[in-house]
Every structure is written in C-alpha cells, then in structure tokens.
Amino acid sequence: MRMSYMKLWHLLLDKGINKTALMKATGISTTSMAKLSKGENCYTDILVKVCTVLKCQPGDIMELIPDDPIIND
C-alpha cells in the first residue's frame, strides 16, 4: 500500500492555504513537506500537527491506496 495526501492538497485549496503557510503554521520542515508532496511515509507527529492546524482528522488529509487489486480467495 502507498500513502496518498491528495485529500490534504484539496483541503488546502478549499481553505486558501498554500504549502508555505502550512509549514509556518505547523512548524514542519521543508523535508517533511517534501515527503508529503511525494506521498512518502512521514512521522505521525507531522500528521498530528497538520490536523491540529487544519482542525481535521487524519482521514481528512490522507488515505491508503492498494498497490495491487484485491484478490478474492
């Protein structure tokens, strides 16, 4: 499975917030923002900071995408 943060980018657009403003508000580093932008794994505390600033739940900013289609047994 891989991470997708498309929900985060849509939420930021809806709220009129850019990545730089989010980084300043949360205190996360450019490295962490790059990981989010690339859909890479990041530490839970980063997600908590983002959710705290945006007043949302983790499921509002991310989702797991299966690598392979589901195989029925």
The pLDDT, as a whole number, for residue 2 is: 86
The pLDDT, as a whole number, for residue 67 is: 83
Domain boundaries, the chain: 2-65
User: How far is residue 43's CA from residue 73's CA, in Å, rounded to a whole number?
Assistant: 34
For residue 50, what are the CA distances in angstroms to 32, 47, 66, 72, 73?
11, 5, 24, 36, 38
The first and second tokens of residue 51, run together, are 């959710």
Top CATH class, 2-65: mainly alpha
By the 8 A CB rule, do 5 and 64 touch?
A: no
pLDDT tens-digit map of 3-58: 899 999 999 999 999 999 999 999 999 999 999 999 999 999 999 999 999 999 99
